[in-house]
Amino acid sequence: MNKKITYAEFQSNIKNTGSGYKNFYSNLLNEIKKNDEEINAFITINENMASDGEISDNFIKNSEDRPLEGMPISIKDNIAVSDIKMTCASKILENFIPPYNASVIDKLKNAGAVITGKTNMDEFAMGSTTETSFFGKTKNPVNNNYVPGGSSGGAAASVAAGFSVAALGSDTGGSVRQPASFCGVVGYKPTYGLVSRYGLTAFGSSLDQIGTISNNCRDAALVTSIICGVDSKDSTTVDITPENFTNFKSLDISGKKFAVITESLSEHTDSEVKRVITSKIEQIRQKGGIIEYVSIPELEYSVSIYYIIAPAEASSNLSRYDGIRFGLQTEKKPDTDVASLITKTRSEGFGEEVKRRIITGNFVLSSGYYDAYYKKAQKARIILSDKFKQIFNSFDYIITPTSPVLPFKSGETINDPLKLYTADLCTIPVNLAGLPAVSIPAGFSECGLPVGMQIIAPPFKDGELLGTGEFIMSEVK
Amino acid sequence: MNKPYPIIGLEVHVQLKTKTKAFCRCENKYGGIPNTRVCPVCMGMPGMLPVLNIEVVSDALLAGKALNSNISRITKFDRKNYTYPDLPKGYQISQYDKPICLGGHINIEDESGNIKKINITRLHIEEDAGKLIHLEDGTNNSYVDYNRCGTPLLEVVSEPDIRSPEEAVKYLKNLKEIFEYIEISDCNMEEGSLRCDANISMIIPLDDGSEVNTPIVEVKNINSFSNIKKALEYEMIRQVEDFKKTGITNNGKNKMTYGYDDSKGITVFQRSKEGESDYRYFPEPDLPHLEISDEMLSDASKRLPELPDLKRKRLESQYGITSYDALTLSADKRMADYFEECCKTASNYKKAANFILTDICSILNNENITISSFKVKPEDIGELVNLLTDNTISSWIAKEVFEKMINTGKKPSQIVEEEGLSQVNNDEELIKIVDKVLSENPKSVEDFKNGKSNALKFLMGQVMKLSKGKANPVKTTEMLTERLK
């Protein structure tokens, strides 16, 4: 496929060639198998994609086309697709095959989408470079010497490399937006509660949302309009359909008020990132957008707050991987007691970053420390979230760079986890507050690395957010 | 007080008998082939989320009302984190700081009929774990059955108001009775639907007039009512002896856990407070706070039946039966209902009570069934009791009629008529039979006159035989006695 293809372009291509989805997918399968050797976007490629495509051919023939008919979409490997391995890029789930679909997968399939495969990620979604994957790194298709970001690096790469028109990822502290930014594509995280988490392997339950990676905001809205909705299997979902999701329109920004967070363009921000973002902001101003710089001093606490709450929830969510019911069970002959079996299984099965976060999580929840760390972090979370929400009393949107740093070179951060954590400064507050946000391509650095701009909206204004993003991408240059 | 006495608090876990489990839609049923009543949610598979079964909340509210608790209008769930193979998620969904009910009490009665209030600290909802099975199959393997995993539990924690093993047993029996009355649990200790752990320490008076308190011991693995008494009695002695040896008192931080060993009748040290898990409680992010609505509260009030002690008092006063009979009848709510239904037809309530408690209960015991499975309708028993009361039939015949009622399902009056079982009450008829018997049994008459009172019984028997059981026994005795003078 041509890279950066939207669903509309894809559909028109299929019609023009006239050879149908089955043929298209036969070719795509070969293309992926060949080119993904280098990129390593996929952990599992769907070998049956051609016959899945044939089903779409039949629907088209009978004039029963469904909303996502034939759309090639890749799925991050922490979202369950029945009867296909779900590894979460971990050795502990290396051969785990779920007997269930995530709710979003049922919806995608009913809408006619074709799953191209399960994409690579940081192990258990913990990371920002996809380098902690048990199945090797993924390369950034824009420049193979650089990381694609994380934790949904494989998802972003699959779209940037033209292996799929769209991808589903998961975003807990920026894991859909940041890789989209690094790979020069669109990454969108819905308002918390808009999309069901049933079937998404839990990492930080109060932060996780399934999000989309695509080449434009229109496709992000299209896919999300299909997968969103209250789900009886997930008690944290809400029964709200955002405006502008159906009959999606690009929304003129003239007269709209944008708050740029000063702390996101500080001296800690890469100068190239600053240049690209300020330039884009200026273009927005020229097209009629009202720009104001707003200070949120509390922003500096966002990383600390997140790296207490997320590991705490993760340490609990990952307790179920004990080698007893599914997944890896240690082969080393265990001592006869079960504690040994569980300890050895987890020691062998988890990578370093995962272990780091589990230990951190246990610590901040432990008796004697709970009040000082976890409880305090939750209080600070509310203060930070309120600050963000207050801004929407006077502004329509908030703008930041998606990442204050340029994409990392492969291997650059592997020995410096804290450096990596601080690069999540701009994306984390969005998850802490449960807000919707999208990263759109804003330009390139001097050396050709993509820079993304993040736009944040009030809760459930997802449709307007994406309409605005669509306008900026197509009209604001 | 110059004897050591115990301070006891009880923690009771009750399995609710909702149709499905607490957080998934698996069937909630005891037993079954291992690992067949499971699903990805209760097995803790990746991506699975709990969904609250609202019936569990309804049952908890009902229990709260029955125990006079304060219902929390906002309640929430928390994760209790620990590692054990029978706990698939590695945490139990429970309630920590905002339980569904706070406070409440259960009344117990001592031998003199004085009422003592045992206060309740709290009631909360949580899910059960699976079952570990250690087969004696020569391997060192243990197995896990997750069928029970996710079963809803109600935990009831009492204040340490209990002062003896006997009081503990009474408290438990009353709690079991209340929960059976409101029909939220089978309360069967053998099947594990009622479990009890005890917290006990001793107050020991010293020679100088002061008192010391021994460290609190949590006693686990008590699986029957009799074992509770035994375990607590044993602990009382053990703690006093321990204090004599070590002099260690309760410093607020030295609680210990002991397990009751049924086979030896002793408690065995398991772990000290240092060895306890740090449960790292935090709010369950997958379940929103629960608001208890006015509607839920009023539904619970509507569901609340007349509770056992009120029912007992009312049966006594309304029907004039003895307190013992009231107690026995109300042990099973349905038995009490049966009795009251029966009394709508029966005119003699005491006779009705007696018949139910002797004749019917003996059938129930023999066939190992409860009154709910008993096929004879209470109004028919009422009719039977009336036939007895107005002397239409003798008590002997009544038993025959009763048996026929069970076997044929016919009404007693119908059976009596069809088979001509009416009692011979007519003096003329009766005296003929009496005279016949006397004339046919001269030796017995002789024996009686010689002081052998057994002869009267024999003659009675002959009258019954001749009358096919229909002779009015009271009149027969009178007549025989008269004739034999």
The pLDDT of residue A215 is 98
Through-space distance between the first and last CA atoms of chain A, rounded to whole angstroms: 26
Active-site residue, from A133, A158, A164, A175: A175
**In chain A, what residues touch B90 (CB-CB under 8 Å)?**
316, 318-320, 322
**CA within 13 Å, CB half, B482:** 9
Using a CB–CB cutoff of 8 Å, tell me whether A60 touches chain B. Answer: no
Write the residue in B46, B140, B286 that is nearest to A98 by C-beta.
Answer: B46
**What is the amino acid identity at position A214?**
S
What DSSP assignment string belongs to A119-154? Answer: E--SGGG--SSSTT-TT-----TT-TTB---SSSHH
ipTM: 0.96
Please work out, in degrees rounded to the nearest 5, the angle formed at the alpha carbon of residue B19 by the alpha carbons of B13 and B24.
Answer: 80
Over 90: is that where the pLDDT of B437 sits?
no
Closest Cα in chain A to B38:
A325
B220: which 2 tokens?
């686990």
Using a CB–CB cutoff of 8 Å, tell me whether A363 touches chain B. Answer: no
B276: which 2 tokens?
């306890």
**In chain B, what residues touch A232 (CB-CB under 8 Å)?**
51
How would you write the pLDDT of chain A (477 residues) with one tens digit per residue?
A: 767 799 999 999 999 999 999 999 999 999 999 999 999 999 999 999 999 999 999 999 999 999 999 999 999 999 999 999 999 999 999 999 999 999 999 999 999 999 999 999 999 999 999 999 999 999 999 999 999 999 999 999 999 999 999 999 999 999 999 999 999 999 999 999 999 999 999 999 999 999 999 999 999 999 999 999 999 999 999 999 999 999 999 999 999 999 999 999 998 899 999 999 999 999 999 999 999 999 999 999 999 999 999 999 999 999 999 999 999 998 866 566 888 899 999 999 999 999 999 999 999 999 989 999 999 999 999 999 999 999 999 999 999 999 999 999 999 987 788 878 889 999 999 999 999 999 999 999 999 999 999 999 999 999 999 999 999 999 988
Cβ–Cβ pairs < 8 A, chains A and B: 104
The pLDDT of residue B55 is 98
Strand partners, B80: B92
The pLDDT of residue B430 is 85
The pLDDT of residue A332 is 67
Over 80: is that where the pLDDT of B202 sits?
yes
User: Is B220 exposed, middle or buried (CB count within 10 Å of its CB: 0-12, 13-18, 19+)?
Assistant: middle
**In chain B, what residues touch A88 (CB-CB under 8 Å)?**
46
User: Does B285 contact A313 at a Cβ distance shorter than 8 Å?
Assistant: yes
CA distance to partner chain B, nearest, from residue A234 (Å) = 6
Through-space distance between the first and last CA atoms of chain B, rounded to whole angstroms: 66
The pLDDT of residue B52 is 98
pLDDT in tens, A59-95: 999 999 999 999 999 999 999 999 999 999 999 999 9
Work out the percent of chain A whose per-residue pLDDT is above 70. Answer: 99
A27: which 2 tokens?
């070719």
**In chain B, what residues touch A339 (CB-CB under 8 Å)?**
83
User: Does B52 contact A324 at a Cβ distance shorter than 8 Å?
Assistant: no
Question: Among this protein's residues, is A332 annotated catalytic?
Answer: no
CA distance to partner chain A, nearest, from residue B44 (Å) = 6
Distance of CA B116 to the CA centre of its chain: 20
Question: Among this protein's residues, is A76 annotated catalytic?
Answer: yes
**In chain A, what residues touch B81 (CB-CB under 8 Å)?**
315-316, 319, 365
Pick the residue of A326, A328, A329, A360 with the most B CBs within 10 A to test the interface with B by mutation: A326
**CA-closest candidate to residue A256, choices A399, A441, A387, A386:** A399
Cβ A220 vs Cβ A438: under 8 Å: yes
Pick the residue of A319, A321, A347 with the most B CBs within 10 A to test the interface with B by mutation: A319
Average pLDDT, rounded, for chain B: 92
Active-site residue, from A74, A151, A158, A250: A151
Strand partners, B8: B162, B200
Over 90: is that where the pLDDT of B340 sits?
yes
- Number of Cβ within a 10 Å radius of residue A460: 21
The pLDDT of residue B275 is 67
**What is the amino acid identity at position A358?**
I
pLDDT in tens, B263-277: 999 999 998 877 677
Over 90: is that where the pLDDT of B16 sits?
yes
**In chain A, what residues touch B287 (CB-CB under 8 Å)?**
235
Q: What is the C-alpha to C-alpha distance for residues A442 and A277, in angstroms, rounded to an integer?
A: 7
List strands edge to edge, sheet with A114-119. Answer: A42-45, A114-119, A72-76, A166-171, A209-214, A186-189, A437-444, A450-456, A397-401, A257-261, A290-294
Q: What is the C-alpha to C-alpha distance for residues B416 and B407, in angstroms, rounded to an integer?
A: 14
User: Does B45 contact A326 at a Cβ distance shorter than 8 Å?
Assistant: yes
Per-residue H/E/C for B273-331: HHHCCCCCCEECCCCCCEECCHHHHHHHHHHCCCCHHHHHHHHHHHHCCCHHHHHHHHC
Residue with the larger pLDDT of the pair B470 and A236: A236
Sorting pLDDT into bands at 50, 70 and 90, what band is B448? confident
The pLDDT of residue B397 is 83
Closest Cα in chain B to A200:
B47
For residue A40, the SS3 value is: coil
Whats the size of chain A, residue-wise? Answer: 477
pLDDT in tens, B287-312: 999 999 999 999 999 999 999 989 99
The pLDDT of residue B444 is 84
pLDDT in tens, B115-170: 999 999 999 999 999 999 988 888 778 899 999 999 999 999 999 999 999 999 99
For residue A210, the SS3 value is: strand
CA distances from residue A286 to A290, A453, B339 in whole angstroms, order as listed: 9, 17, 89
Per-residue H/E/C for chain B: CCCCEEEEEEEEEEECCCCECCCCCCECCCCCCCCCCCCCCCCCCCCCCCCCCHHHHHHHHHHHHHCCCEECCEECCEEEECCCCCCCCCEEEECCCCCCEECCEEEEECCCCCEEEEEEEEEEEEECCCEEECCCCCCCCCEEECCCCCCEEEEEEECCCECCHHHHHHHHHHHHHHHHHCCCCCCCCCCCCEEEEEEEEEEEECCCCCEEECCCEEEEEECCHHHHHHHHHHHHHHHHHHHHHHCCCCCCCCCEEEEEECCCCEEEEEEEHHHCCCCCCEECCCCCCEECCHHHHHHHHHHCCCCHHHHHHHHHHHHCCCHHHHHHHHCCHHHHHHHHHHCCCCCCHHHHHHHHHHHHHHHHHHHCCCHHHCCCCHHHHHHHHHHHHCCCCCHHHHHHHHHHHHHHCCCHHHHHHHCCCCCECCHHHHHHHHHHHHHHCHHHHHHHHCCCCHHHHHHHHHHHHHCCCCECHHHHHHHHHHHCC
Q: What is the C-alpha to C-alpha distance for residues B150 and B158, in angstroms, rounded to an integer?
A: 24
Q: What is the C-alpha to C-alpha distance for residues A121 and A385, in angstroms, rounded to an integer?
A: 28
CA distance to partner chain A, nearest, from residue B280 (Å) = 5
A242: which 2 tokens?
């955002």
pLDDT in tens, B86-123: 999 999 999 999 999 999 999 998 878 799 999 999 99
- Number of Cβ within a 10 Å radius of residue A182: 35
The pLDDT of residue A335 is 61
The pLDDT of residue B454 is 85
Per-residue H/E/C for B179-247: HHHCCCCCCCCCCCCEEEEEEEEEEEECCCCCEEECCCEEEEEECCHHHHHHHHHHHHHHHHHHHHHHC
User: Does A206 contact B285 at a Cβ distance shorter than 8 Å?
Assistant: yes
Question: Among this protein's residues, is A295 annotated catalytic?
Answer: no
